[in-house]
Structure 1
Amino acid sequence: MQQEETQQTRHVLSFLRAWMPFLIWGQELTPHTIKADLMAGLTGAIVVLPQGVAYALIAGLPPEYGLYTAIITPVIAGLFGSSLHLISGPTAAISIVVLSVVSSVIPPDTHAFIPAVMTLTLLAGLIQLGLGLARMGTLVNFISHTVVIGFTAGAAILIATSQMKYILGIQIDSGSSFVDTWHTLISQLNTTNLYSLGIALATILTIQCVRIINPKIPAMLVGMAAGSFLCWLLQGDQHNVPLVGALPGTLPQFALPDLSIDTISALLPGAIAVAILGLVEAVSIARAIAIRSGQRIEGNQEFLGQGLSNIVGSFFSCYAGSGSFTRSGVNYDSGAQTPLAGISAAAILVLILLLLPDITAYLPMPAMAGAILLISWNLIDSHHIAQILQSSKQEAAILLITFLSTLFLELEFAIYLGVLVSLVLYLKRTSRPKLTEVAPLSFAYGTELRAIKRFKLASCPGIKILRIDGSIFFGAVDHIQRSIHQLPLTYPQSKQILIHCTGINFIDVSGAEMLLQESERLKKAGYQLSFCSLKNYVLDELKANGYLEKIGQDAFFPTVDIALETLVEQVEQHTERCNECPKHVFIQCPRLLETKTL
């Protein structure tokens, strides 16, 4: 009876962790943790205020939509996610993807644009929630780090490009491509508004100086304030310097997204890209913070939190959000203990929105663009880019393809292409496992085998040991079969061929069938194919499929030493060369055994 109650308690706790994790960490709140979270929330609100406005402009939305997203999204994601320190909300990469996806269907300047953005957000949230419910948290592992770095770098260039019209004061049609935008900028460079350029440069300079003098000061907020002051001083409004304008001073209202079939079908491919990118950002940032905090992150739970935040947000004027590396890092460094920090930051934003709606009324667009320019610059991970370019040609190819496709293709297809190329190159690599001839490093019993060429080891004329470094699956069958076909030509005197299987993690039906065919073919040609050190679960699969019996159980040995005891004896029975051989590769060699006996 007590055991049943314990099991029921576990089920209840599991349910609470999955659907109401806030009840778990809520029990750990103390006056100390609440105070720490409130202070971290105040810092977070100061950081997200300029970012929310900036990211909304990147997404082609009015500034209040960035703040709405910074209010609703972190609250829902914090309540239902697994990370104690991840702060979700508007991000630069997601913002530019949202603009790209929706503007390809509906022009940004039309009334239908904002409802379509909400539809995209809803679809992305549903996809994320579905993946979480399906327990597919490992999906993000298939999006390589190189793809994310390449895409983010390309997105950074696009973001910077989109802001150049405000920095230079040049009129550019909305929805212009990367190439068209730069063509217009260069052709109209002589019409640059020097007031706009001066305000943007002053903002950038102020932000950088503040960061150097004291990194703890909210540099972006100070820089925008300096840009606003300079604009007022220069009477920028009289010199065609556009202003962001005042916020509406109201809370986000409930509104239905555009649920028409045409809109949903048009936005669905892009929604998949937004969902995947959002999950990759959120989970990778949560894991990075967890390394510092020692917390264990549950990928599926994070999927649920991100999905629910976007679903709920889509009904309250929020566009697609994800985890923010900057705000999450600031949150942790500010001493946050629980997601209450993100919730308190959202509450402070609500007060600012209601009490200080004119806070952006005199904020010049060039100042905002200058701040966004710095944001985009920080998105480029130059350290890892240089590392990738120097370390691997394949990874460098993935990086460059993703980066260039981000600039010249639709952003959602750039993500797909990057993932596709990385998977293709991975499959190409795994489909060509190396077959390396190995031998014992010394005469010690049970010694690890090493590559003959690398360690300049002696090779036995009668027995060849080959190590396969990779699994034997349908994609690798042809390469391995070709390699085995060459063995009699490469080693005509070696009648015993032993496959060292420590590097084989699985053998599918195609691989097992190929091994059976090669074993029979070699046997007819006077050779014997044997296997040693195969993992137990792989051996069990061969046995279950009947291939262990078909190939012959006597061809499989648990260790290389046991295999050599049998194979050396068989070679010795068929030839006298063992007694005359000067190489003595194995401890099982007859002359070594005689010496040892003497």
Structure 2
Amino acid sequence: MHLSRFKYIPLIGTIRNYKKEYISKDIIAALTVAVVVIPQSMAYALIAGVSPVYGLYTAIVSTIFASAFGSSKHLIAGPTNAIALLVAGSMSPYMAQENAYQLLFLMTFIVGALQILFGVIKLGKVINFVSHSVIIGFTAGAGVLIALGQLSTLLSISIKDSSHMSTITKFYYVLTHLSQTNLYALGLGVMTMVIIVICKRINKSLPGALIGIIIPVIFIVIFALDQKGVKLTGAIPSTLPPFVMVQFSLAGVQAMFGGAIAIAIIGLVEAISIAKSIGTTSRQKIDANQEFIGQGIGNLVGSFFQNFAGSGSFTRSAINYHSGAATRIAGILSGVLVALVLVFLGGFAKYIPNPCLAGVIMVISYNMIDKKEIAHIVKAGKFKSDSLAMWATCLATIFMPHLDFAIYTGIAISIMLYLKDTNKVPVRILIPSQGKDSQIIEKKIESVKGKVDILIIELEGNLYFGSAEDLETKLDGLIDKAKVFILRMKYVTSVDLTSLNALKIFFRSVKDAGGIVIISGVKSELNSLLKNSNVTSDIGEENIFMTENEIFASSTNALEKARSAINCDPTDSGEKSASCTLLESVTNFNGSTGGTNKSTASL
């Protein structure tokens, strides 16, 4: 049986090639990840606005299936901060309804189905439309929003009908009711944050979040702080995630679809970015489309086991890799271990104080703001596309009523700014001239004041409809500036019909003005386009020179044609023009590289 038959089930290949020495490595990594994921998943559930048990369910089912079907052998999926916030934003209008959780699991199903669809139809490159700056901006804004949303829990200030309020409204309410702060709750939350920071400074491998929750629990039990207004998590079911059929309805799909698209896209960007980052170090090639399918299966299957949408976690994936995980089995085992903890130790979760979970979230929120990357983007240019897209997405995330709109805003701004940056055609104007020792050099000029014999116009990049107007404007200003134009196309990657029409207008205008256009460096696909568009009839097929294997051959042929075009016969005084002398030196050179400046020979 060949492994190629199971290319969409990477787990089979892992099992068939599994070695004994991998067992201890995968178990140690799984234990380390499980210690971290338990407090994290409960905290992320609170961000999503649901009971902590659903975070544990997601950390079990989603993690196991995403590890089994994903491309990366180190990526750990499950609940994440950014996705949890998107879930909360999408579900906030519906949480007061009786069928709120049914809609939540339906949205998880839609997210998974979309991600699988993206992978099946091989839309791996779709993530390129979400720029790095948009993700940095969204993550920073999400960090601020998450922190503001947890203030009421940290201070133990109750807010009535909070499910209908925006985070900014809740924040304003907290500021105006600070007198209601429960100092015991605040003390426990601050204790958790301090413990996490201290553990990180002592040793990054220490499970600071878990220690930061266990120690305050001791205070809760000893001093009965739950009787002094400190709210506890409460009892959670000590059972495995139950199978519950997703409730499908047209109205439900319509309500959840918009948010599901944003969650699906951001979830995939998050997962692929993390997988590729670790893959660079581990030297593992990541198949984006297979990772799409893996993430999609994790969410789709998870929707039947009361999961909210998840994605790849950078923290847990990095811990998994640095703990020595050898295969994807480590990720699967981490989910199994969380399930065992839930079954045998779930009863103790009722003593966990909500302010301590809020403290964990506060530290996570702070770490979400990538200050170094923000500084790097700003340093590159405050008004550059990347910087503008980042700040626009960040502000939209904080102030827009729907987070999915913030994502779409960031993507739209990125695309618009990209198009703005690419609607200018790089056009270099060059004049061949005589250098020292009979060398021919190219002189780049910004503008042509008078009229010259030969003008070289070098075009670069992708000539598409967005840049056609700029191309036409620049060429129009050169029509009467030379007798012969050599249009260098060797650096042009593609030409669409709109830009080709701009070129045709230039060719006809030059012809009407009595000039000649010669095209050099024409690739075969461009030559076919020129013929099919009847461009050859405008300038003559003899004036089109193909790109050839011989170095500079196309440009040399174009120069020979230019020499005959400007009539280099001697004048009555027996002298030749400087251009003719120059052209003869090049054409007599006959394409060899000896004695000719390299930059000039690239004519």
TM-score in terms of structure 2 length: 0.89
Distance 1:583 1:235, change over 3 A: farther
Question: Which residue number in structure 1 is paired with residue 275 of structure 2?
Answer: 286
Structure 2 match to 1:223: 212
Partner of 2:7: 17
Match of 2:374 in 1: 385
Q: Are positions 1:425 and 2:417 aligned together? A: yes
Segments of 5+ residues of structure 2 without an aligned counterpart are 548-553, 596-603
Shift of 1:185: 1.8
Which residue matches 2:520? 532
Deviation, structure 1 residue 361: 1.5
**Matching of residue 486 in structure 1 with residue 477 in structure 2:** yes
**Alignment partner, residue 565 of structure 1:** 560
2:582 and 2:388 mapped to 1: Cα distance? 43
1:394 paired residue number: 385
Residue 489 of structure 2 is matched in structure 1 by: 501
Which residue matches 1:6? none
Cα separation, partners in 2 of 1:590 and 1:549, compared to 1, 3 Å? closer
* Contact 1:22–1:79 (Cα < 8 Å) also in 2: yes
Structure 1 position 147 matched with structure 2 position 134: yes
SS at match of 1:244: coil
Partner of 2:190: 201
Structure 1 residue 579 corresponds to structure 2 residue 576: yes
Q: Secondary structure at the match of 2:492?
A: coil
Which of 464, 467, 490 is the equivalent residue of 1:473? 464
Structure 1: stretches of 5+ with no match in the other structure = 1-8
Match of 2:73 among 76, 84, 94: 84
2:350 pairs with one of 348, 358, 361? 361
- Counterpart of 2:415, as a letter, is L
Whole-Å separation in 1 of the counterparts to 2:215 and 2:131: 40
Does structure 1 residue 435 correspond to structure 2 residue 427?
yes
Q: Supply the distance in 2 between the matched residues of 1:459 and 1:63 (Cα, whole angstroms).
A: 77
Residue of 140, 155, 159 corresponding to 1:168:
155
Q: Which amino acid aligns with 2:324?
A: G
RMSD of the alignment, in Å?
2.9
Contact 1:249 1:357 in 2 (8 A): yes
The change in CA–CA distance for 1:527 and 1:171 in structure 2 (over 3 A counts) is farther
- The residue that corresponds to 2:601 in the other structure is none
3-state secondary structure, aligned to 1:33: helix
CA shift for structure 1 position 560: 2.7
Asked whether the 8 Å contact 1:167–1:366 carries over to 2, the reply is yes
Question: Is the CA contact 1:155–1:406 (under 8 Å) kept in the aligned structure 2?
Answer: yes
Change (3 A) 1:568 1:343: same
- Kindly indicate whether residue 230 of structure 2 is the aligned counterpart of residue 235 of structure 1: no
Give the aligned residue type for 1:23: I
1:588/1:343 Cα in 2 relative to 1: closer, same or farther (>3 Å)? Answer: same
User: How far 1:219 moved relative to its partner?
Assistant: 1.0
Residue among 393, 397, 408 paired with 1:406 = 397
> 1:478 deviation in Å?
1.4
Q: State the match for 2:551 in structure 1.
A: none
1:443 to partner: Cα distance: 7.4
Deviation larger for 494-503 or 91-100: 494-503
Distance in 2, matches of 1:357 and 1:553, equals 81
Letter in 2 for 1:47: V
Distance 1:246-1:563 versus aligned 2 partners, 3 A rule: same
- Partner residue in 2 for 1:335: 324
1:247 to 228, 236, 252: 236
- Structure 1 residue 566: deviation in Å? 2.2
Write the letter of the residue equivalent to 1:115.
Q
SS in 1 for 2:466: coil
Of 113, 116, 125, the residue aligned with 1:138 is: 125
The alignment partner of 1:504 has SS state of strand
Q: Secondary structure at the match of 2:477?
A: helix
Task: Output the CA distance in 1 between the equivalents of 2:466 and 2:167.
Answer: 39
Q: 113, 117, 122: which one pairs with 1:126?
A: 113
1:60 is the counterpart of 2:55:
no
Who is 1:73 aligned against? 62
What secondary structure, in the 3-state scheme, does the structure 2 residue paired with 1:503 have? strand
Contact residue 518 and residue 539 of structure 2 kept, 8 A = no
Counterpart in the other structure of 2:599? none
**Counterpart AA for 2:508:** E
Question: Following TM superposition, by how much is the alpha carbon of 1:110 offset from its aligned partner in structure 2, in angstroms?
Answer: 4.1
1:549 and 1:73 map into 2 onto residues whose CA distance is: 63
- Aligned residues of 1:472 and 1:506 also touching (Cα < 8 A): yes
Question: Which amino acid in structure 2 is aligned with residue 379 of structure 1?
Answer: M
> Contact 1:505 / 1:535 at 8 angstroms: preserved in 2?
no
Q: How far off is 1:212 after superposition?
A: 0.4
- Report % sequence identity: 35
Give the aligned partner of residue 144 of structure 2: 157
Alignment partners' CA distance in 2, 1:186 and 1:433: 53
Question: Tell me, what secondary structure is at the counterpart of 1:85?
Answer: coil
Contact 1:460 1:583 (C-alpha < 8 Å) held by counterparts: no
Which piece of structure 1 moves more, 48-57 or 429-438?
429-438
The residue type equivalent to 2:475 in the other structure is: I
Distance in 2, matches of 1:474 and 1:99, equals: 41
Report what 1:4 is aligned to. none
Q: Please tell me the residue identity of whatever aligns with 1:528.
A: I
Please state how far the C-alpha of 1:440 moved relative to its aligned partner. 6.5
Q: Is this contact kept in 2: 1:199–1:231, CA < 8 A?
A: no
